Amino acid sequence: MIRKIELPLLVISFLSVAFIADNKSTPNPLAKTGFAFVELFTSEGCSSCPPADALLAKIEKENQNKAVYLLAFHVDYWDRLGWKDSFSSPKFSARQNQYADWLNLKTVYTPQMVVNGTKEFVGLEESILRNSIKTELAKPTVANLQISLEKSSKNSLTINYNTDRQTDGYMLAVALVTANATNQVLKGENKGKTLTHVQIVRQFESFPLQGKTNGAVNIQLKQLNEQMPSELIAFLQDNKTGRITAATRLNDLSAVQLIHKSR
């Protein structure tokens, strides 16, 4: 079922991102069309969430060659109700609560979708999602973001960033994503079901930019389990409104497996 929970608003916490790759995002010159950034807040403990997960998978399949960025954050507040979601994190719940603050919402719930940081709706509303993506893709691009990666030590990574956007009041956010995974649920509302997920956020971190348009941020590496990340998504977000103004991705993260195997 859709679950709405009264929760105190939390501040987004810094999370660690774990990988190493010598790669660089492709520059995206300012164009006539924009991008769509979709965040799904979901849980394996919520019986209304599997259809939302399936919708996200459908959108991913249809938009692989478009500027459509998809993130699935598994919240943890369902974990105490019978089934612990192995992809959940209290820090992902904190991000959802930050949206409640930005968008003046009284509650948080699953499944919830947020598009470009400014529009939220129940994650089962396919027509709203499609229209929102169409609207955002038709908007002019207002900023560019480019990143490159380099190893700074055995357990840390440096992300170099560059943007043409004034960054006062903005943060650089980075999500490490696993493309897909399947879990068998043994308890809770989805007991007996085998659930499939896509674009699973494994680690997330944000950095206040304080007006800087270029620079570097360091991330401490964290041990990963067998579901290795396949994509890095980075984006600029307004700290006051939640609006996302630029995004980019890296798909070649093969070096992550090398680091993982070396441990």
In a domain, 242, yes or no: yes
4 within a domain of the structure (yes/no): no
Q: Is residue 7 part of a domain?
A: no
- Asked whether residue 183 is assigned to any structural domain, the reply reads yes
CA distance 50 to 31: 35
In a domain, 82, yes or no: yes
CB 205 within 8 A of CB 17: yes
For residue 188, tell me if it sits in a domain: yes
CA dist., res. 94 & res. 91, Å (int): 5
Structural domain total, the chain? 1
Domain that holds residue 93: 14-262
Which pair of tokens denotes residue 17? Answer: 């991102």
- Per-residue pLDDT of the chain in tens (263 residues, 90 and over written 9): 665 655 443 332 222 333 334 456 655 544 557 999 999 999 999 999 999 999 999 999 999 989 999 999 999 999 999 899 999 999 999 999 999 999 999 999 999 999 999 999 999 999 999 999 999 999 998 999 999 888 777 777 788 999 998 889 999 999 999 999 999 999 999 999 999 999 999 999 999 998 999 999 988 777 555 567 788 999 999 999 999 999 999 886 654 444 555 55
Is 144 inside a domain boundary? Answer: yes
| Rounded-to-integer distance, Cα 101 and Cα 98, Å | 5
CATH number of the CATH domain containing 187: 3.40.30.10
Is 174 within the bounds of a domain?
yes
Say what the pTM is: 0.86
83: its two tokens: 């089934």
